[in-house]
Amino acid sequence: MCGLAGMLLYPTQRSETEWAELREVFSRMLVFNEERGREASGVALISRDGILRLFKQPVPASQLVRMEPYRDIMASIGPETTCLLGHARAPTKGSRWNNANNHPLLVGQTVGIHNGIIDNDDDLFIRFGFSRHGEVDSEIIFSLLDRIGPISNNGSYSSVVQRQVARLEGFFATLSVDLRRPTRLLVLKYLRPLCLHYEK
């Protein structure tokens, strides 16, 4: 199974020491998750304006964090950063050599990471006529979520998400961001472990 790492940041001024600590903590989380998946890894940085920086490769996280594009993304973390997503992949479907299968996945305006297996992805792609970019089962999760789009914050969003997720057969823990709502991290979990930590 795969390993997930995520960090939701309140956009604010921080000292360079604080930024350095956040970079280090995130990178350590990603490498720590390598034991859950060594075949591929990736990172996504989301800014308050919905700009996405994404880098993924068919290498273990311990190699990814030493690559220049990863270091460039980490160096760009700043007051406008809202979220970081990291993934260590153990493939269940779809070759790691096709980078479209590696996480984070970008489907439309939704970027996300997944741990688990979705058994009915092929059926759902056919049923809804979604375009498919890779072979990975995880892609259907973010295809369904991207279809929701930006909805008001009055509780209707949660209801629509629940209806979409109910279509999935399998198990999952996911973290995703709709780039049209870049200050919000959607956390979904069903029969997969997920640990959260909050710090002011």
Decide if 171 is inside a domain. yes
- Which one-letter DSSP state was computed for residue 133? S
Closest CA to 188 of 148, 128, 129: 148
CATH number (domain holding residue 24): 3.60.20.10
Residue-wise pLDDT for 140-192, tens only, equals: 999 999 999 766 555 688 889 999 999 999 999 999 999 999 999 999 999 88
Cα 97 from chain centroid? 19
What is the residue range of 77's domain? 3-190
Residue-wise pLDDT for 108-149, tens only, equals: 999 999 999 999 999 999 999 999 999 999 999 999 999 997
Decide if 197 is inside a domain. no
| Bridge partners of residue 41, in order along the sequence | 57, 88
Q: What's the order of all strands across the beta sheet hosting 52-57? A: 3-8, 81-89, 40-47, 52-57
- Which one-letter DSSP state was computed for residue 79? T
Decide if 196 is inside a domain. no
Total structural domains within the chain? 1
Decide if 195 is inside a domain. no
Residue-wise pLDDT for 9-22, tens only, equals: 987 889 999 999 99
Decide if 199 is inside a domain. no
